[in-house]
Structure 1
Amino acid sequence: MSIYALEAVFAPKSVAVVGASPRPGSVGRTVVHNLRQAGFAGAVGLVNPKYRQIEGVPAVASLRDLPFAPELVVVTTPAATVPGVIAQAVAVGARAAVVVSAGLGQGPGSLLEHLRSEARPHGLRIVGPNCLGVMAPHVGLNASFAARSPLPGDLALVSQSGAIAAGLVEWGAARSIGFSAVVSLGDALDVDFGDLLDWFAQDPKTRAILLYIESIRDARKFMSAARAAARSKPVVVIKSGRHEQGARAAATHTGALAGSDAVYDAAFRRAGLLRVHALDELFAAAETLGHLRQAPGRRLAILTNGGGIGVLAVDRLVDLGGTLATLDPATVRALDKVLPPTWSRSNPVDIVGDADAARYTAALEALLQDPGNDAVLVMNVPTALSSSVEAAAAVSRVLQRRPRPGTGKPVLGVWLGGGQEALSRLDAAGIPTYATEADAVRGFTYLVRHREAQQALMETPPSLPEDFVVDTAGAQAIVARALEQGRGWLDPLEVVALLEAYGIPVTPAWLAADAGVAAEAARPLLEAGKLVALKILSPDIIHKSDVDGVRLNLSSEAAVREAAASILARARELRPKARIEGVTVHPMVARSKARELIAGLAHDPTFGPVVVFGRGGTAVEVIDDKALALPPLDLRLAHDLISRTRVSRILKAYRDVPAADERAVALVLVKLAQLAADVPQIRELDINPLLADREGVIAVDARVAIAPHPGPAQKGPWHSSFVIRPYPKEWERMVELAQDRRMFVRPVRPEDEQMFLEFFSRVSDEDLRLRFFSAVRHFSHEFIARLTQLDYARSIALVAIDPDNGGMLGAVRLLADANYERGEYGIMVRSDLKGLGIGWQLMRIMIEWAGSIGLKAVDGQVLRENVTMLAMCQQLGFKVTPDREDPTVMDVTLDVATTNAAGG
């Protein structure tokens, strides 16, 4: 239900605790104590029929007996009583409940299902059950049984584990790290990661979001919410529970390479999340994000009074992919004037063991002014020759002289043995401190990785080539015929036809039932001067090398006949129960300087299809050089996938080997992603090897596993098994306008950035003000990217294009909530083209889209003076009412089902 009623969880006006107790050590007593100690200012009611008062606060027998209707109900009673308590909460008008109680079971007939049936029909939000609770320090709310209340801050923590949440609260208190909210999800009956990502993404008190994940149930909802949240603020995630059972059971190389944890990693990367792998890393990420807000690049300057620790920091920086900054010559000259002759004169800047406060001040000021670095790591090793506290105070004073706290280059600190006073000085200046140089460098890389993730989310991908043409119907027919015959694998001839349907170069194949037919099939190839390869053909032998089922470089008919007989005999000997259909005949591919790659598809039970790429060959699992990505892919994403493998290095030119055509490799990956969308019956696809050289690519061997498509396993208004909605091509259409004109309407694509810039140049200042409610003239890359980089799962932007000259005529946008109940629209038409019906037609198509994804209502806000838009809304059936908070604005609402049913 997305963020519906979550304000009652994080900012309730009143709270009731059902199961409140005076018994020492009980959950009910701990919750009451925490609620009172946190300073909650609203009304608090205690419910327990056994007591008339608890800790001096009156108690009542039931929620109905409270003198007020609580917005939030905290439930700590035994499992069997919980559904009844929730029924009471609904009856008294509560909007949300935190169910701490455990033991409600799972599945049909369980107490959990009973709880769901009591809450969901009435819109009562449930956090839990089986959870630690909820803490919102800014409103003095601690509805949990944690041992400590968190400090107020701007980090939101969402955890499936109550123990992890409680541990982070303790850690934060010790390090002066505060939280905007802490939520323990428990069994996540209702409120889940997607809901909370949506909530904290728009929460002004939250600057960064921390997630502890054990598993994800609704992958589509999670990915949609995560991608939206990551565009606006850092999201750090730790995932526990690495499962390899799926990989062990896979039949193809690509399936074996795509382990569960690797798929989660690909999903987090695609969503723009910053993943860490251990709790100490999550702590370090929280320490960094709790103080710092940006890192413009990878170049780190290191300032230290100890050379050894500086070298260790450099080693760790290189290990983690950072860049050691080069000192600008002007900086070296400036440091020469203030440092002793024995200083290092390079980065790390070693200011020698007797460095005092003045030396730290001068060196840090010089590094902050140096354009050659993006951040500074300041370290101190205690010596008898200087004071660590005074050095910390000096560093703090430099930063406190900045115009505004948190501005300028990030500065990180390591004060070994400096004591609490030194750390407090640094903390007061907003400098995150770390126990070791390795932790500090890792903290710096978190800032870098977050910035790069943001850039990736905002990048404009290159357009696909004009010749990107696929035969979808042909591919679907191939798979459908095989399924009708009850087969789980395509035969080699079908595999060749399938790849050819998607324009993937592949070596041809001919079927030969015996040695004689093999020789006949090979004859034309041999006469053309080509060598021949033979491979065993059996639906029961997946890996041909297991039965010595491949022969290469055959140069005569006799050699072919002998090799075919040997392959067949060997296969029957080693696999007597296997169905042997013969051999396949192929021309040898002579590309001596080609690289062996693997490319394919695997299927993950949580995230659906996954594209796999890496180093190919028979030892592919042993080499384990692979990277994964969730489809759909564009060329930018495909190139990124390639770059995350070691084999990408040898795709470049080296020695006498020319560079391979990496774009051709990337295009294969994009086509495989499209194939997964068009033919969801493909469960695994394995091209190994895919040869790549300067001439392009060619698939030498491939296997395809198929199965009937069970239908969409994910929630969402589309039928693909993708968790990220592909480009909705079916919404492209030609529309007639007034004055015998036409427009082509299609969903916005990422490569439309330049077209939007040109469009805005032809919109008047007045129209821009009416659309954006303020004067707008500068349109940054980030602004346009937000208009063109769409998550089609929850938002759509339809652009109208002149079919004659390709110019943009207008666009309409619709953003749906995560539960697909309501959507908010916005529209703009080029100022010189009003009166042609462009806006009217775009609005009609937008309303049609809203109905297709099941929205109940479409909302919008229109300036009262924008009489043209208000009149159009009324004609389309919108209800127009004054906004309650802003007299200059009118709210417009459309009942989608009624409008579409009436053909409006």
Structure 2
Amino acid sequence: MSLLLTGRPGKGFRETAFFQPRSVWFRADPELPESAVLARNLAAGGFHGQLMGDGFATPEGTPDLAVLCVRPEAQATELARIAAMGCFVAIVPTAAPGLAAMAAQAGVQAVGERSFGLALPGIGLNATLSHLPIRPGKLALMAQSSAIARAVIDWAAAEGLGFSHIIGIGSNDGLGFASGLDWLARDTGTACVMLEIRRIKQRRFFVSAARAVARTRPVLALRAGGRMDDPSGIADGVMAAVLRRAGVLRAEGFEEWLAAAETLARTKPRGGAGQADRIAILANGLGVARLAADAALGHGLRLAEFSAATQAALGPLIPEGWEVRNPLSLGSRAGAGLAQAARLLAGAAEVDVVIALHAPEQDAAPIEAFATAARGNRGAPILLGWAGEASAQGERAALSEAGLPVFNTPEGVVRGAAHLAAERRNRATAAELPASDVLELTPDRPVVRALFAAVRAAGRLELFEDEALAVLAAYGIATLPPRICTTPTEAAVAAVALGPPVALKARALLRHKSEAGGVVLNLRHFDSVRAAAELMAEEVPRRAPGVAMAGFLVQRMARRGGMELRLRLAEDAMFGPWIGFGQGGTTAEIAADEALDLPPLNLSLAHGLIARTRLARLLPGFRDRPPVHEPAIADALVRISQLQVDFPEIAALDVNPLFADASGVLAADAAIRLRAAGEAALFAIPPYPAELVAGFTGRDGSLFEVRPIRPEDAAAQGAFFLELPPEDVRFRFFSTMKELPPAMLARLTQIDYGREMAFIATREGRNFGTARVIREGSGNAAEFAVVVSPAAKGTGLARHLMERAMDWARAEGITELVGHVLADNAPMQGFMRKLGFTLRRSLDDADIMLATKLL
């Protein structure tokens, strides 16, 4: 059974008022230059609804959407005015200091300040500052910069591309990326989404909404000024990690962004296998074909190996005596044969993408032949590289107008193929099912809690090294626990007890101990330790004025021969906590080999983080370097991630070095800084809600653990589906599937706890039932479903799962459940009535019953 959760309609913002307005109110100050542009575009767009206000009709009824092009001093009044009219969403294209506060005071959802506006070409609405008319199509653009939005519109016009939506959110002070992406995730008229991002305000909602869109269509992001805002590159790296986790492709520049959009908007990848990197290259000249082949190999693509059947089919199309191989030249008089060969290769099973290159020739270009080939193509995508300028410019325009992805250089068309491969990899990664292994953590949280309390009681926010290592030990990470000593003699005695060699360190809050004379290594004798401690007591205050020493730390020297790694947690201003992994030691900053991700991490994500570093290639061993036990590193990353989740008061953590070898890992030094009292981290990706795990005893005494689903449940969920009778499958999915495909299993188990919940009932690794709630959009709409195994029927499990789901819905502010039940599903209808639902037949489908319940 599939249910729909919705909030009851009421006064306030409605998504349809912005994305499907039936009437628009325009208020303009004639002295502002934006007013004339907006008035012209509104009038010329051919809006299917009613235009009201300045320069248009007298208002009749309540407008859905307002466009307020007025001076800052008039904005509060105008916002209050439209709210009084019953309009609760407004576009503000001008400067508007304090817009968020003014809009909140009026109860209006504002878009701006400095919004480029809104274009919905499918209904003729052009409420933008565009310099050109905007044609309808399947691209959606969300941009903060008006200049970039105009440039994209200009490019699209030249390429024959159109838009389903253009949303200019300006400074993102009101309705922003999350709301737009939520809508686009459900819009069937959008094939590809382009994002121009400067800053994100609603971190969690953005990641959640972007992921929802990227599950079903390509999402391409461009960020301008990232390095300028943070020369260290950390903020840019965090942004890249966020987009990767959301399944969004990031372009490195404007040209790449546009090329990727054109490619992905105009091509439909071949269904089936997840790869898209086997490239077939053909041309009307070997020189351009070889240029493309070089570029393809440089992008990590593979040249497809033609089968014997493919070679035989291509033979009649090439000059006699020429070899049939990839890349393939058909000669300078290929003509329509080039299109014929491209169509043939598109149907070859060993080819994922076809690149057809054309250099200027004496004969007429085969434009119509390629247009015909593309229209009937159901195989691999065909990308065109049409070189030249004087003679080729018009030909490229004609090909673009025919809907073909066409580029003007061999390198450009290869970049297009690389974008297709990257997008397919994204989809494959999203559908990849992680192993069922879960790292069961049993940290000593009371020890950490007590340590942090003691640090705060001492008036500190930073932990001494021995305290930080104790925190790591409490989370199951092996450490070298140091001895705390107060005098040089005491340090020497401790060194003898530990046995040589030892490290002597200052117990002080030093960022780089070695630079301040706060660490001496490989000490072997009583006298050498005492002398080093005496000198350290003099040097540290001199080199680090203001830093007080609280004694000495004596530590057994770590085993050598392994790798020195670094793990760290820190805070990004836009996306909150991030986790880093890379090369450690004193040269970590210079080596600059660090990959970033966001907590929470599971083992699968931890292995992926490790793989994105250069040093990952050394982990299996290289020449005289022995292998390193990579699973132990992944284990440590998951434990560090869980530490941040359990204690969001941690502001930063640095483990350097973490020694790693074939036997495991060992933390030799660590630093932790806490946030000020009352402050806590806000995660961009919601952690696993462990607090919702609870037991349930069935009517027959059977015991179940009811908990939120997690990615590692994919195998158990697939096995559960196979246990369901065909009738139960039809009732639950409204279809007769035989098994759940991997992509659907991934979708059902890799959920976003910020927008959905799935409770499963398990016992000894087996799943006996699932109840699911998926919120749709920024309002209270959501999808709901429940199904239990035949082995659990009669135990009361179905009712319990429903009640858990309804409790979650209430906590999330959902006020009404509306469910869809097949008309012949009498048992479920009876079950719904027992839970207090009211049933009636759907007006849209006689085979569906609607079940509703107020919460």
Query: TM class, shorter-chain normalised?
Result: over 0.9
Could you tell me which amino acid in structure 1 is paired with residue 327 of structure 2? P
Instruction: Report the Cα distance in structure 1 between the residues aligned to 2:401 and 2:91, rounded to whole angstroms.
Output: 36
Distance in 1 separating the partners of 2:488 and 2:447: 31
After superposition, what is the alpha-carbon deviation per residue over 1:751-805, rounded to whole angstroms, capped at 9, x for unaligned? Answer: 212222222222222222222233333421112221111101111111112x3x5
Match of 1:831 in 2: 790
Aligned equivalents of 1:299, 1:691: Cα separation in 2: 40
Counterpart of 1:699 in structure 2 is 667
Shift of the alpha carbon at 1:291? 0.7
Q: Deviations over 1:150-199 (max 9, x none)?
A: 21111110111122112211110111011101111123343210001010
The answer for the alignment partner of 1:182 in structure 2 is 166
1:348 paired to 2:348: no
Are 1:414 and 2:422 counterparts? no
Tell whether 2:280 aligns with 1:301: yes
Counterpart amino acid of residue 414 in structure 2: V
Is residue 2:275 matched to residue 1:273?
A: no
**Aligned partners of 1:135 and 1:149 also within 8 Å:** no
CA contact (8 A) 2:837 2:853 kept: yes
- Please list the CA deviations of residues 117-164 of structure 1 after superposition, one character each: whole Å capped at 9, or x if unmatched: 2134xxxx4333421211111111111231112211111101111221
Deviation at residue 424 of structure 1 after TM alignment: 4.1
- The residue number in structure 2 matching 1:899 is none
2-side partners of 1:132 and 1:245: how far apart?
23
Cα separation, 2, equivalents of 1:835 and 1:400 = 55
The alignment of Structure 1 onto Structure 2 pairs a total of residues equal to 841
Matches within 5 A, 1:46-445: 46-47=53-54, 54=55, 60=58, 66-94=59-87, 96-100=89-93, 102-106=94-98, 112-120=100-108, 125-242=109-226, 259-294=234-269, 296-328=275-307, 331-332=310-311, 335=314, 338-340=317-319, 346-352=325-331, 354-361=332-339, 363-365=341-343, 367-383=345-361, 386-387=362-363, 389-402=364-377, 407-417=379-389, 418-427=391-400, 430-445=403-418
Which deviates the most, 284-293 or 573-582?
573-582
Which position in structure 2 is the counterpart of 1:768? Answer: 729
List per-residue Cα deviations over 1:801-857 (Å, max 9, x = no partner): 2x3x54322110012345574543211112353222111111111122223334333
Aligned-partner residue type, residue 555 of structure 1: R
Q: Contact (CA 8 Å) 2:172, 2:200: kept in 1 or not?
A: no
Measured against aligned partners, the alpha-carbon deviations of 1:190-229 in whole angstroms (never above 9, x if no partner) come to: 3210001010110011111111111001101111111111
Structure 2 partner of 1:901: none
Structure-2 change in CA distance of 1:401 and 1:864 (3 Å): closer
Query: Take 1:832 and 1:499, find their aligned partners in 2: how far apart are those partners?
Result: 44
In structure 2, relative to structure 1, the CA distance for the partners of 1:325 and 1:561 (3 Å cut) is farther
Instruction: Find 2:479's aligned residue among 500, 506, 514.
Output: 506
- Asked whether the 8 Å contact 1:795–1:815 carries over to 2, the reply is yes
1:804-815 equivalences under 5 Å are 805-815=764-774
Q: What CA deviation, in whole Å up to 9, does each residue of 1:577-610 have, x standing for no partner?
A: 3212232111122332x12211111111221111
RMSD over aligned Cα atoms: 2.7
Distance 1:479 1:324 in 2: 57
1:756-795 counterparts in 2 under 5 A? Answer: 756-795=717-756
Q: 1:292 Cα shift? A: 1.0
Unaligned runs of 5+ in 1: 48-53, 61-65, 248-256, 713-719, 897-904
Q: 1: CA distance between counterparts of 2:653 and 2:97? A: 39
Report what 1:708 is aligned to.
Answer: 676
492, 500, 504: which one aligns with 1:534 = 504
Q: Is contact 2:285-2:329 (8 Å) kept?
A: yes
Contact kept in structure 2, 1:396 and 1:428, CA below 8 Å: no
Q: Are residues 721 and 472 of structure 1, via their aligned partners in 2, closer, same or farther at CA, if it must alter by over 3 Å? A: farther
Shift of 1:232: 1.4
- The answer to whether the Cα contact below 8 Å between 1:823 and 1:859 also exists between their aligned partners in 2 is no
State the alpha-carbon separation in 2 of the partners of residues 118 and 854 from structure 1: 22
Matched, 1:841 2:841: no
Aligned amino acid, residue 88 of structure 1 = R
Matches within 5 A, 1:413-492: 413-417=385-389, 418-427=391-400, 430-464=403-437, 468-492=441-465
Mean Cα displacement is larger for which, 169-178 or 569-578? 569-578
**Contact map agreement 1:512 1:518 (CA 8 A) in 2:** yes
Aligned to 1:570: 539
Q: Find the aligned partners of 1:184 and 1:795 in 2 and give their Cα distance.
A: 28
2: CA distance, partners of 1:687 / 1:343: 61
| One-letter amino acid matched to 2:501 | L
Letter matched to residue 768 of structure 1: V
The alpha-carbon deviation at position 727 of structure 1 amounts to 1.2
Distance 1:160 1:173 in 2: 20
In the alignment, the residues of structure 1 paired with residue 455 and residue 366 of structure 2 have an alpha-carbon distance, to the nearest angstrom, of 74
1:642 corresponds to 2:626: no
Q: Which one has more relative contact order, counting CA pairs under 8 Å at least 6 apart?
A: 2
Letter paired with 2:479? V
Question: Quick one: structure 1 residues 473 and 455, their matched pair in 2 at CA, closer, same or farther if it must change by over 3 Å?
Answer: farther
Q: Given the superposition, is the C-alpha separation of residues 104 and 381 from structure 1 closer, same or farther in structure 2, using an over 3 Å criterion? A: same
Which deviates further from its counterpart, 143-152 or 419-428? 419-428
Question: CA 1:464–1:670 in 2, change beyond 3 Å: closer, same or farther?
Answer: farther
Deviations along 1:414-454, whole A, 9 cap, x unmatched? 33335244224533554311232222222222211122122
What is aligned with 1:251? none
Mark the CA change 1:293 to 1:480 in structure 2 (over 3 Å): closer, same or farther.
Answer: farther
- How far does the alpha carbon of each residue in 1:460-481 deviate from its partner, in whole angstroms, 9 at most, with x for none? 2224456533222222222221
Partner residue, 1:715: none
- In structure 2, distance between residues paired with 1:395 and 1:680: 58
CA separation of 1:16/1:358 partners in 2, compared to 1, >3 Å: closer, same or farther? closer
TM-score by length of 2: 0.92
Is contact 2:601–2:637 with CA below 8 Å preserved after alignment?
yes
After TM superposition, give the deviation of residue 524 of structure 1 in Å. Answer: 2.6
Distance 1:628 1:183, change over 3 A: same
Deviations 1:12-70 (A, max 9, x none): 2222322286x8x94333323222322223222233xxxxxx5xx6x54xxxxx23433
Partner deviation per Cα, 1:593-638 (whole Å, 9 max, x = no partner):
x122111111112211111011112121111111100111111111
Q: State the alpha-carbon separation in 1 of the partners of residues 843 and 111 from structure 2.
A: 30
Cα distance between partner residues in 1 of 2:114 and 2:120: 19
Residue aligning to 2:3: none
With over 3 angstroms needed to count, the CA separation of the structure-2 counterparts of 1:263 and 1:782, relative to structure 1, is same
> Is residue 2:37 matched to residue 1:30?
yes
Residue of structure 2 equivalent to 1:621: 589
> How has the CA–CA distance of structure 1 residues 244 and 139 changed in structure 2, closer, same or farther, with 3 Å as cutoff?
closer
Supply the AA of the counterpart residue of 1:231.
R
Inter-CA distance 545–314: structure 2 relative to 1 (3 Å threshold): farther
